[in-house]
């Protein structure tokens, strides 16, 4: 018979008191919400009746100025009430969660010099009485809560605003509370903590990522609470919790924002794709915070290029991941156009635009030359650190002001003619200039270390990447042909975004003070230069894994490039080597694709061996996939990922399986709930996880080179509990089969 813990009655009593306080505050918050709703309705009604109708009929009547002022004040009042209303709704959500499960841990902390320890209960949100006379629950982000994550029993400390607080952890206790009921609790030590984490990792995947406040590891907590670095870079193995760290870090930054005014709209998360955005969307609301702004790079492209239609990153990867001449050309073109050497060429080109590539001319007014072409160019070349468009506006204004006295006596028609001429120099044509850049061979050749007088040496070198003369000319010809057809490929879109920012500047993102870049290894140097232009005053959290690059190769020197490009000297690189996602069997199988012995450790969770099967016919292959899905369903697995290298492979498989299996195909740009049986390409699976993964197209025709090793590593490490690697026909030699059926 199980012995009842001697503290059980005391713990139940404390839980009852805590839940009662939470319910009382919840009732008050609901009453406040109703009051705010009524108040907002009455204010709107008053504005409409007393002000709105009076001005609506004649908006241009000067006699209505006072009414307009009153209307403006009324709308400001409505906005203020609406903000309070939304905050009250969020508070209700937090309190409802607190009622269900107010805390998950307790630390008995003996402050240095005290005689009795303080019992510190830790939950997802704080709960305290008015004026904080009693704190029932401390927020997991509070300074003292860090003791729970970083220390076992014994000497401990935490850093508070007033300085370092030292003491001793005398007890660590963890709880399972559901629907306001205490299920069980235990006093934690390392082995029990590991067992609880193992149980949580053994559960099925949910449609969206969940908060992990109960199981944050010490090294993760240090990263979440890092406030010292302007650039925090995290190199983490697949399944090491990088994304969880990033999202909990965002929640922590907003918690700290109570003091430094960091709001949700001051934080930007750059996600690899829209499926990933959907996957992480629930984490911050689960933690009681507003969702921060989340973008994919194409959102930035659309914003900066004013909606101009361009090729997507997914469409680029769809071509670049194929082992064809076209695929190799696309990869090489992207490497070239986004390299540090190419950036030097672009910078030189931008510097020369006013003097060489803009169509300036002498300006006349009233029959007199008022400024020469040379003088106008000289004026534009002043303050070269400012965007060209700003300098052009200033130069046009300078000309306009220079003849202010003459303009006053000239006719309207003459003034309009000069104004139109000045308008012509205000807007440099971005796409014409980019065509000029590629038409002039000297920029790219010289940036790559080529001298136009070298007589045609065999190769050109741009930093670490060498190009033959034939490759450069092929890339150049394809680029000019695409521009001639008014088509903008993804690599050109990246360049055009940088070029427009250099020419025009940008103010749309200046409010961003924290940027979190996930799957950072898949961005190219020029993209980091773009981030530097868009978010010059922001701090960065950069999370990546150089073993998971797609369509290129990277090593740890990548992070040095990021540091140099972003210009953040106060930076740090931290490595997370333990993988919590996969079973031992899946992780060990996946590591073979890295081609070396990486320092990646498993959390020590065992599971089924990896199934590797090559099928002789299409019928056997489809039946094998169907049988594997059925087996997983019988075992209670809820989320099964069918992965192909490319979307075209997914299209073919979907047509063959849709009448046999109930499945959803996830396409680029889509944002469906990630549950059930999902079919998606490798590049859309970035950052996601599934109960089982079936790599469906592991044949020799699909996977054959070093880049393909990385694709297989990405695909296989999406699996939590079970992994199958299938193909029709001959298995790729990159997979060492455990069994072939």
Per-residue pLDDT tens for 387-445? 888 888 888 888 777 777 676 666 677 777 777 777 766 677 899 999 999 999 888 88
Amino acid 469: pLDDT: 86
pLDDT-based confidence at residue 258 (cuts at 50, 70, 90): low
Q: Do 500 and 549 belong to one domain? A: yes
Q: What is the mean pLDDT of residues 243-247?
A: 93
pLDDT-based confidence at residue 260 (cuts at 50, 70, 90): low
Q: Residues near 586 by Cβ (< 8 Å), separated by ≥ 6?
A: 607, 610, 716, 717, 719, 722, 723
Q: Is residue 261 part of a domain?
A: yes
Percent of the chain with pLDDT over 70: 87
Cβ atoms < 10 Å from Cβ of 278:
21
Residue 182 parent element (H or E): strand 181-187
What's the CATH code of the domain at 253? 3.40.50.300
Q: What is the mean pLDDT of residues 631-650?
A: 94
Higher pLDDT, 212 or 296: 296
In this predicted structure, the answer to whether residue 150 has a pLDDT above a threshold of 70 is yes
In this predicted structure, the answer to whether residue 551 has a pLDDT above a threshold of 70 is yes
Q: Is residue 29 part of a domain?
A: yes
Amino acid 414: pLDDT: 73
Q: Do 654 and 695 belong to one domain? A: yes
Q: Is residue 105 part of a domain?
A: no
Exposed / middle / buried, residue 225 (Cβ in 10 Å: 0-12, 13-18, 19+): buried
Q: What is the mean pLDDT of residues 697-721?
A: 94
pLDDT-based confidence at residue 739 (cuts at 50, 70, 90): very low
Amino acid 454: pLDDT: 42
In this predicted structure, the answer to whether residue 259 has a pLDDT above a threshold of 70 is no
Amino acid 366: pLDDT: 76
Number of domains in the chain: 4
Main-chain phi, psi angles of 369, to 5 degrees: -75, 120
Q: Do 701 and 614 belong to one domain? A: yes
Amino acid 84: pLDDT: 85
Q: Do 255 and 295 belong to one domain? A: yes
Q: What is the mean pLDDT of residues 52-80?
A: 56
Domain assignment of residue 60, given as a range:
8-100
In this predicted structure, the answer to whether residue 543 has a pLDDT above a threshold of 80 is yes
Amino acid 192: pLDDT: 42
Q: Residues near 122 by Cβ (< 8 Å), separated by ≥ 6?
A: 103, 104, 105, 106, 107, 137, 138, 139, 140, 145, 148
Query: Contacts for 376-382 with beta carbons within 8 Å, 24 or more apart?
Result: 376/425, 380/354, 381/354, 381/355
Q: What is the CA radius of gyration of the chain?
A: 31
Q: Is residue 627 part of a domain?
A: yes
Count of all residues that appear for the chain in the document: 741
In this predicted structure, the answer to whether residue 645 has a pLDDT above a threshold of 80 is yes
In this predicted structure, the answer to whether residue 464 has a pLDDT above a threshold of 50 is no
For 475-568, where are the E strands, in sequence order?
514-517, 539-544
Q: Do 371 and 284 belong to one domain? A: no
**What are the tokens at 471?**
């490759």
Q: Do 30 and 60 belong to one domain? A: yes
Q: Do 632 and 721 belong to one domain? A: yes
Tell me the C-alpha distance between 556 and 597, whole Å. 15
Q: Is residue 340 part of a domain?
A: no
In this predicted structure, the answer to whether residue 59 has a pLDDT above a threshold of 60 is no
Amino acid 575: pLDDT: 94
Q: Is residue 473 part of a domain?
A: no
Higher pLDDT, 295 or 82: 295
Q: Is residue 708 part of a domain?
A: yes
Q: Do 723 and 611 belong to one domain? A: yes
The closest alpha carbon to 694, from 667, 655, 672, 663, belongs to 663
Higher pLDDT, 55 or 661: 661
Higher pLDDT, 281 or 66: 281
Q: Do 522 and 622 belong to one domain? A: no
Q: What is the mean pLDDT of residues 353-375?
A: 83
Domain boundary among 579, 614, 646: 579
Domain boundary among 75, 100, 125: 100
pLDDT-based confidence at residue 355 (cuts at 50, 70, 90): confident
Q: Is residue 113 part of a domain?
A: no
Q: Do 574 and 652 belong to one domain? A: no
* Weakest mean pLDDT among 192-201, 373-382, 424-433, 623-632: 192-201
Domain boundary among 42, 74, 100: 100
In this predicted structure, the answer to whether residue 196 has a pLDDT above a threshold of 60 is no
Amino acid 241: pLDDT: 92
Do the beta carbons of residue 699 and residue 727 sit within 8 Å? yes
pLDDT in tens, 676-694: 999 999 999 999 999 999 9
Averaged pLDDT of the chain: 87
Tell me the C-alpha distance between 585 and 605, whole Å. 9
**What are the tokens at 617?**
């016919």
| Residue 705 Cα to chain centre, angstroms | 29
Q: Do 611 and 723 belong to one domain? A: yes
Q: Do 641 and 538 belong to one domain? A: no
| Residue 176 Cα to chain centre, angstroms | 32
pLDDT in tens, 130-146: 877 899 999 999 999 99
Tell me the C-alpha distance between 381 and 376, whole Å. 9
pLDDT in tens, 156-171: 999 998 899 999 999 9
Amino acid 224: pLDDT: 95
pLDDT in tens, 268-309: 999 999 889 989 988 988 888 888 889 999 999 999 999 899
pTM of this prediction? 0.88
| Residue 387 Cα to chain centre, angstroms | 27
């Amino acid at each position: 018979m199980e012995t009842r813990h001697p503290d059980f009655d005391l713990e139940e009593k404390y839980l009852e008191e805590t839940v009662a306080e939470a319910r009382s505050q919840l009732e008050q918050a609901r009453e406040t919400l109703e009051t705010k709703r009524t108040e907002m309705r009455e204010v709107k009604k008053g504005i409409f009746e007393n002000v709105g109708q009076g001005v609506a009929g004649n908006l241009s009547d000067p006699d209505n100025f006072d009414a307009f002022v009153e209307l403006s004040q009324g709308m400001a009042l409505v906005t203020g009430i609406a903000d309070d209303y939304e905050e009250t709704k969020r508070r209700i959500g937090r309190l409802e969660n607190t009622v269900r499960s107010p805390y998950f841990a307790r630390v008995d902390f003996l402050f240095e010099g005290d005689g009795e320890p303080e019992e510190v209960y830790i939950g997802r949100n704080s709960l305290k009485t008015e004026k904080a006379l009693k704190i029932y629950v401390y927020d997991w982000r509070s300074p003292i809560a860090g003791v729970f994550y970083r220390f076992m029993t014994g000497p401990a400390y935490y850093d508070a605003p007033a300085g370092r607080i030292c003491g001793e952890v005398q007890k660590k206790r963890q709880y399972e509370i559901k629907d306001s009921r205490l299920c069980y609790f235990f006093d934690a030590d390392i082995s029990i903590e590991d067992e609880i984490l193992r149980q949580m990792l053994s559960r099925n995947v949910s449609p969206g990522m969940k908060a992990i406040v109960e199981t944050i590891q010490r090294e993760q907590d240090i990263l979440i609470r890092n406030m010292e670095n302007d650039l925090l870079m995290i190199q983490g193995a697949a399944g090491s919790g990088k994304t969880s760290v990033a999202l909990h870090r965002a929640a922590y930054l907003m918690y700290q924002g109570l003091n430094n005014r960091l709001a949700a709209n001051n934080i930007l998360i750059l996600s690899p794709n829209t499926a990933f955005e959907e996957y992480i969307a629930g984490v911050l609301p689960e933690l009681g915070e507003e969702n921060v702004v989340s973008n994919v790079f194409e959102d930035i492209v659309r914003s900066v290029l004013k909606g101009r239609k361009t090729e997507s990153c997914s469409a680029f990867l769809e071509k670049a991941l194929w082992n064809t001449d076209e695929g190799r050309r696309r990869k090489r073109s992207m490497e070239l156009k986004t390299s540090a050497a190419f950036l030097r060429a672009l910078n030189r080109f931008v510097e020369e635009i006013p003097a060489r590539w803009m169509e300036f001319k002498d300006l006349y007014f009233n029959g007199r030359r008022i400024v020469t072409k040379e003088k106008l160019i000289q004026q534009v070349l002043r303050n070269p650190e400012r965007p060209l468009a700003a300098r052009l506006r200033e130069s046009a204004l300078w000309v306009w002001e220079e003849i202010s006295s003459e303009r006053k006596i000239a006719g309207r028609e003459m003034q309009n003619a000069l104004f139109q001429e000045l308008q012509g120099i205000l807007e440099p044509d971005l796409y014409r200039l980019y065509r000029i850049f590629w038409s002039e061979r000297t920029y790219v050749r010289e940036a790559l270390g080529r001298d136009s007088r070298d007589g045609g040496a065999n190769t050109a070198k741009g930093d670490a990447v060498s190009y033959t003369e034939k490759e450069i000319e092929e890339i150049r010809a394809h680029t000019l042909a695409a521009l001639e057809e008014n088509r903008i490929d993804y690599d050109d879109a990246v360049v055009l975004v940088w070029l427009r920012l250099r020419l025009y500047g940008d103010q749309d993102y200046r409010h961003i003070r924290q940027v979190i870049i996930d799957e950072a290894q898949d961005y190219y140097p020029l993209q980091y230069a773009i981030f530097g232009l868009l978010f010059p005053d922001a701090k960065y959290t950069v999370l990546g894994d150089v073993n998971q690059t797609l369509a290129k190769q990277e090593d740890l020197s990548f992070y040095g490039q990021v540091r140099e490009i972003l210009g953040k000297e106060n930076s740090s690189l931290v490595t997370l080597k333990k993988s919590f996602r996969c079973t031992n069997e899946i992780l060990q199988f996946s590591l073979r694709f890295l081609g070396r012995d990486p320092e990646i450790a498993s959390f020590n969770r065992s599971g089924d061996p990896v199934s590797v099967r090559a099928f002789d016919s299409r019928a056997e292959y489809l039946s094998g996939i169907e049988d594997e899905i059925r087996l997983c369903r019988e075992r209670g697995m809820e989320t099964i990922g069918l992965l192909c290298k490319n979307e075209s492979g997914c299209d073919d498989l979907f047509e063959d399986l849709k009448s046999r299996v109930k499945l959803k195909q996830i396409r680029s740009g889509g944002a469906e709930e990630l549950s059930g049986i999902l079919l998606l390409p490798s590049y859309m699976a970035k950052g996601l996880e599934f109960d089982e993964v079936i790599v469906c197209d592991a044949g020799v025709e699909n996977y054959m080179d070093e880049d393909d090793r990385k694709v297989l590593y990405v695909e296989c490490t999406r699996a939590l509990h079970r992994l199958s690697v299938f193909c029709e026909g001959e298995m790729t030699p990159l997979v060492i089969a455990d069994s072939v059926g």
